Structure 1
Amino acid sequence: MKKSRREFIFSISMLAASSTIPLNAFAFNESKKLKVALVGTGIRGITFWGKRLVDEYSDILKFVGLSDINSSRLEYGKTYIGTKCPTFSSFEEMVKKTKPDLIIVTTKDSTHHEFIIKGLQMGCDVLTEKPLTIDEIKCQQILDAESASNKNLIVGFNYRWSPYATKIKELLAKNTIGDLVSVDFNWYLNTYHGASYFRRWHGEMESSGSLWVHKATHHFDLLNWWIDSEPNEVFAYGDLEFYGKNGAFRGPNCRTCSHKSTCEFYWDINKDNFLKKLYVDHEHEDGYIRDNCLFREDINIYDKMSAQVKYTDNTVLNYSLTTYSPFEGWRVAFNGTKGRIEAWLDIPYYENATMDEAEKHTSEMSQNGKEEVTVKPIVVHKLWKQFETINVDMEKSGHGGGDKRLHDKIFINPEIPDPYGRTAGVRDGAMSILIGIAARKSIESGKPIKVSNLTDLIPKAKRA
C-alpha cells in the first residue's frame, strides 16, 4: 500500500491524472507526508522550491535531504529553507539513504540531465527547473530515461499559470480571432536583469546553452501552449555585440574592479545581504563568482537574438529577445483569420509605470504574496469591428501569480481538471528547448533547422 500511495500522490500531482480522489482524503500524518529531496541550493532552489514549500505545504510534505557540491552553501540553504533534514555532497547517497518520493532538480542547466536521469533510474519521480537541459543529445538521453522508467518527469513552467497568460490561452482556445495565422513576440530584458545573466555561468554556452535555451525556454513554452501546436522548422540570427569582448575595459569582478567609478554596470553584491550570504560567503569552495565582469573574454553566448519559427499547423512565429533594453517587459500579437489579439506587460509607454527598473525582477521573483492585485489589458480587435479591451486581474510578484498557482496545482489541487492544460511534462520541456537549440544551430550553419532532426520526437500539428 505504501508504494501505491506514493505513486498515486505524484502521478496525480505531476500529470493531472483523471482520478477524482482528493489528496486530502488520505488524511496524511507525519509518517505519510510526501518525501522531497532537493539537489542544487542556489537561489531558485532554496526560495521557490525550498522555503516556499516548507512555509506553505508542511502539512503534506517534508524535506528528507538536500544535496550540493558546495558544503557551506548547502548548510546555509538548509537554514534558510527551514528544514532539519540531512545534507549530502553525493546525490546518489542522498537518494539511497532518504528514499524520496520526489526529487527536485535546481542545479546548473548543463547538469540537469545527470540528476533527472539518475533520479528516474533510482525509482523516483522528478521535477526539474527549466530548462529541461541544454542540447539535443542530453535531451534525447532524458527522453529515453523517462520512457524506460515507470516514473514521471515534469518541468516547472510557471508562466503558464499566471492569470494574464491564462486569459490569452482562453481567448485563443475559444477561437476568438479564428484560425491562427502568425504571432509576433518580443521580450525585453533591461540593463539590470539582462546584465545579470552575463555576470553568471549563464554567459557561457557550455553551462547554459545560451539565453536561447535558459531564458527563451519560458517564452517558447508559452508560445507552444498558446499556439497549441509544435515547432517544425527554425531559422535564426544572433550575435554578441554588447557584452563580453565588446567592452572597452574589464576587471576580475565588480568587487575588485578598478573601473568601479566609471562603469555604468558596476554592482555591489555586498549591499544585498541575502546574495552575500548565499554566494559570496561560500565562493571559496567551488569558485562560483556571482558578480563576474560583464565584459570578460569567456562570455560566448548571444546578446541579440531573432528567430522565425514555422509550426507544424503552419502558424508562423516571429520572435526576438533583447538583453540590454532600457526597460523590462514583453509584448505579443496574434493574427487570425477573424482578427487580432494584442497583449503586453510592463511596457512603460503603454501604462503608468511607477516601479524602478532595478526593482522589477526582484518584485517578479518575490514569493511574499502580499502585493495587491493590479489590472492589465488585453486588446481583441475583430475584422470590421471596433476593438475591445479585456481587463485581467493579476499580481506582479511570483511571476505574475503563476508561482503559487503552479504549487497549488501540484500539491493541493491535483484532482481538479484543468481546462487549459497547464501542467507541463517531458515533451513540453523538450519542445521548448528544441526551438532554442535549433536557433543556435541555424545561426552556426546559416540554414533553417528541422526540429525533427534533433531528437526522435516528431512534431505534431496539434500539441500532444
Structure 2
Amino acid sequence: MKKKYVICGVSNRALQMFIGPMINEFSKESEIVGLLDSDLYRFTICKQKYPLLKHVPTFSANQFETMIEQTKPDYVIVAGRDDTHVEYILKALRMQVNVITEKPMVTNAKDAYKVMQAEAESNASVIVTFNYRYSPFHRKIKEMILEGKVGRITSVDLNWYIDTFHGSSYFRRWNRDRKLSGGLSVHKSTHHFDLVNWWLDQKPEEVFAYGDLYYFGPEGELNPRKKASRFCGNCDDQRNCAYHKRWNPRSGSNSVRDDHLLAGVYEEIPYTNYRPDACIYDEEISIEDTYVAVVKYDGGSLLSYSINFSAPYEGYRLAINGTKGRIETTEFHEPSRIHFNYPEQTIDYFPLFGAKETIELVKNPGGHGGGDPILLEDLFLGPDPSRNYPILAGSEAGAYSIAIGEGVWRSVKEGKPIKIKELLFQQEKVTNHCTK
C-alpha cells in the first residue's frame, strides 16, 4: 500500500532529492498528496518539471494544518530553508504525523531540544536525512570500527576543504545570515560532526574552537572595492572579482555545472524575492568562513576538526586512531572543478603491529558520494535488512550534531569551551526552574 507524503518547502533540494525520485523510482511505494511553500511560483516550477503533479493541491506557508487535515499524509517531508524546519516539524508531531526532515534538522540547540521533547510526547517520529552516512566509504569505516579493527578509538583528525566555487556560494545566499542558517558550523555539522558522532557511537561533551571571517565580507582581501548591495548578475566589478572570474568566463557561459548548486554562481530560476547572487563581500554577512575545533566525547575519544570555505579544491582528509590501529582516507570531491591529477580514494588500515592494508571499494553513483540513492531506498523501501547496524538517524542524532555546530561558533565568539549538554538542555533547566 502506498504511503502518502506532503512536501513542506518546494526547494531545489526537494525537487532533486525527494520529488523526482518519488515520481521516477518509488511511485509504487509513495504518493505526493500536497505541496506547501511561501513562494507560489515554486509550485509552477515544480509542476512544469513534473507534470504528474499537475492536480496535487498546493498550500501557502500558513496553511499547514489545513493541508494535513485535507490530505491526511503518512509523512511530512521538510525541505525548505533551514530556519523554517522547526515550525513544521513541531506542528507535524503535534498532529501525530511522521516527519522526514532535511538536515540540519533545525538551526540551533534550543529548537533541537523542542523537537526532541515534541517527539517524546507524540506517537509520530522524526527521521533526519544524514545522507553522508550512506557513502560506501563511510559505511565501510563504520563496519571496520564495529569489527574492532582500530580497537578503542582515542582520537579522530578530520580536515575539510570547500573549494572557491562551492564555498563562496554560501555567502551569496541566505546561508550568510546566522538567523536563517545557524552559521556554517551548524550547516556543515550535519555532515561532518554527525559522521564522527555515528562512527564513535559516543555523545559529545565539550567543544572549544577558533574561527573568523577571512575570505568574505567587506574586509575580504580580494574585495575589488567596498560597495554595498552588489549582485553578481549586474555587478560593475565582475572582471575584477577573482571568485567570479574563476568560474564565469567572459563569454558568459557557465564554466561548471553542479548538481547541488544547479549552475554558475547563481541559479537560473527567478524565484520570488530570492537573489542567490548577492555579493560575497557584503556587510550583511554574519557568519565565519574558517574554523578549527576540538571536541571531547563521553567515551573518551577526542576530535580535532578544521574546515576552510575558500580552498583550491574540495575534499577531506581523515584519520582515526585507536588502541589497535589507524584508519586513513583522503577524498577529493567534484572532479570537474579540480585542475590537477589526484588519486582515487581508498581506505588505508594500519594495524598497530603489522602490515598496512589498502581497501578499494566499489563506488555507487549519486549525490553525496553515492549516499543519496541508498538513503532514499531506506526511506521509501524500508531499512536494508542485510545491514546489521543502525544508520537512519532520529531527532537525538540531529540535535547533537547541531549542538556541536552551535557550540563551535559560540566558543569562537565567547572565547571559552562550551558544554554540549548545557547548550542542548538549557531550556529544560529553564522550564524546571519556572515550575518550582
**TM-score after normalising by structure 1:** 0.82
Structure 2 residue 320 is the aligned partner of structure 1 residue 334: yes
Q: Which residue of 1 aligns with 2:332?
A: 346
Identify which of 155, 165, 171 aligns with 1:192: 165
Identify which of 16, 29, 34 aligns with 1:60: 29
Q: Which residue of 1 aligns with 2:336?
A: 355
Q: Which residue of 2 aligns with 1:265?
A: 243
Structure 2 residue 392 is the aligned partner of structure 1 residue 429: no
Identify which of 78, 86, 96 aligns with 2:57: 86
Identify which of 198, 202, 206 aligns with 1:233: 206
Q: Structure 1 residues 299, 270: CA separation in 2 closer, same or farther (over 3 Å shift)?
A: farther
Q: Which residue of 1 aligns with 2:274?
A: 288
Amino acid at match of 1:257: C
- SS of 1:424's equivalent in the other structure is coil
Identify which of 281, 305, 313 aligns with 2:299: 313
C-alpha separation between the residues in 1 aligned to 2:14 and 2:335? Answer: 30
Structure 2 residue 287 is the aligned partner of structure 1 residue 301: yes
**Mapping 1:38-437, distance limit 5 Å:** 38-82=7-51, 83-84=53-54, 85-89=56-60, 90-247=63-220, 248=223, 249=225, 250=227, 252-266=230-244, 281-283=269-271, 285=272, 287-346=273-332, 355-357=336-338, 376-395=345-364, 397-414=366-383, 416=385, 418-437=387-406
C-alpha separation between the residues in 1 aligned to 2:204 and 2:50? Answer: 39
Contact in 2 for aligned 1:376/1:393 (Cα 8 Å): no
Amino acid at match of 2:336: M
**How far is the alpha carbon of 1:163 from its aligned partner?**
1.0
- SS of 2:162's equivalent in the other structure is strand
Q: Which residue of 2 aligns with 1:350?
A: none
How many matched pairs? 403
C-alpha separation between the residues in 2 aligned to 1:92 and 1:103? Answer: 12
- SS of 1:394's equivalent in the other structure is coil
Contact in 2 for aligned 1:73/1:282 (Cα 8 Å): no
**How far is the alpha carbon of 1:137 from its aligned partner?**
1.5
**How far is the alpha carbon of 1:156 from its aligned partner?**
0.4
- SS of 1:76's equivalent in the other structure is helix
Q: Structure 1 residues 120, 326: CA separation in 2 closer, same or farther (over 3 Å shift)?
A: same
Structure 1 unaligned regions, length at least 5: 1-27, 348-352, 359-373, 458-464
Amino acid at match of 2:44: E
**How far is the alpha carbon of 1:222 from its aligned partner?**
0.5
C-alpha separation between the residues in 2 aligned to 1:245 and 1:354? Answer: 31
Contact in 2 for aligned 1:280/1:290 (Cα 8 Å): no
C-alpha separation between the residues in 2 aligned to 1:421 and 1:236? Answer: 30
Structure 2 unaligned regions, length at least 5: 427-436
Contact in 2 for aligned 1:66/1:78 (Cα 8 Å): no
C-alpha separation between the residues in 1 aligned to 2:102 and 2:413? Answer: 27
**How far is the alpha carbon of 1:449 from its aligned partner?**
1.0
Q: Structure 1 residues 356, 385: CA separation in 2 closer, same or farther (over 3 Å shift)?
A: same
Amino acid at match of 1:346: F
C-alpha separation between the residues in 2 aligned to 1:415 and 1:172? Answer: 20
- SS of 1:77's equivalent in the other structure is helix
Q: Which residue of 1 aligns with 2:429?
A: none
Q: Which residue of 2 aligns with 1:7?
A: none
Contact in 1 for aligned 2:168/2:310 (Cα 8 Å): yes
Amino acid at match of 1:253: F
Contact in 2 for aligned 1:192/1:357 (Cα 8 Å): no
**How far is the alpha carbon of 1:46 from its aligned partner?**
1.0
**How far is the alpha carbon of 1:354 from its aligned partner?**
5.6
Q: Structure 1 residues 314, 63: CA separation in 2 closer, same or farther (over 3 Å shift)?
A: same
**How far is the alpha carbon of 1:219 from its aligned partner?**
0.6
C-alpha separation between the residues in 1 aligned to 2:382 and 2:75? Answer: 17
Contact in 2 for aligned 1:244/1:296 (Cα 8 Å): yes
Amino acid at match of 1:450: K
C-alpha separation between the residues in 2 aligned to 1:407 and 1:54? Answer: 12
Contact in 2 for aligned 1:375/1:392 (Cα 8 Å): no
Q: Deviations over 1:308-367 (max 9, x none)?
A: 0000001000001110000000111011112211012118xxxxx963349xxxxxxxxx
- SS of 2:383's equivalent in the other structure is coil
C-alpha separation between the residues in 2 aligned to 1:132 and 1:312? Answer: 23
C-alpha separation between the residues in 2 aligned to 1:354 and 1:190? Answer: 11
C-alpha separation between the residues in 2 aligned to 1:327 and 1:165? Answer: 20
C-alpha separation between the residues in 2 aligned to 1:423 and 1:442? Answer: 30
C-alpha separation between the residues in 2 aligned to 1:128 and 1:448? Answer: 30
C-alpha separation between the residues in 1 aligned to 2:319 and 2:400? Answer: 21
- SS of 2:33's equivalent in the other structure is strand
C-alpha separation between the residues in 2 aligned to 1:96 and 1:279? Answer: 34
Contact in 1 for aligned 2:313/2:337 (Cα 8 Å): no
Q: Structure 1 residues 150, 73: CA separation in 2 closer, same or farther (over 3 Å shift)?
A: same
- SS of 1:440's equivalent in the other structure is helix
Q: Deviations over 1:175-197 (max 9, x none)?
A: 11221100000111000111111
Contact in 1 for aligned 2:186/2:405 (Cα 8 Å): yes
- SS of 2:387's equivalent in the other structure is coil
- SS of 1:100's equivalent in the other structure is coil
Contact in 2 for aligned 1:73/1:279 (Cα 8 Å): no
Q: Structure 1 residues 281, 401: CA separation in 2 closer, same or farther (over 3 Å shift)?
A: closer
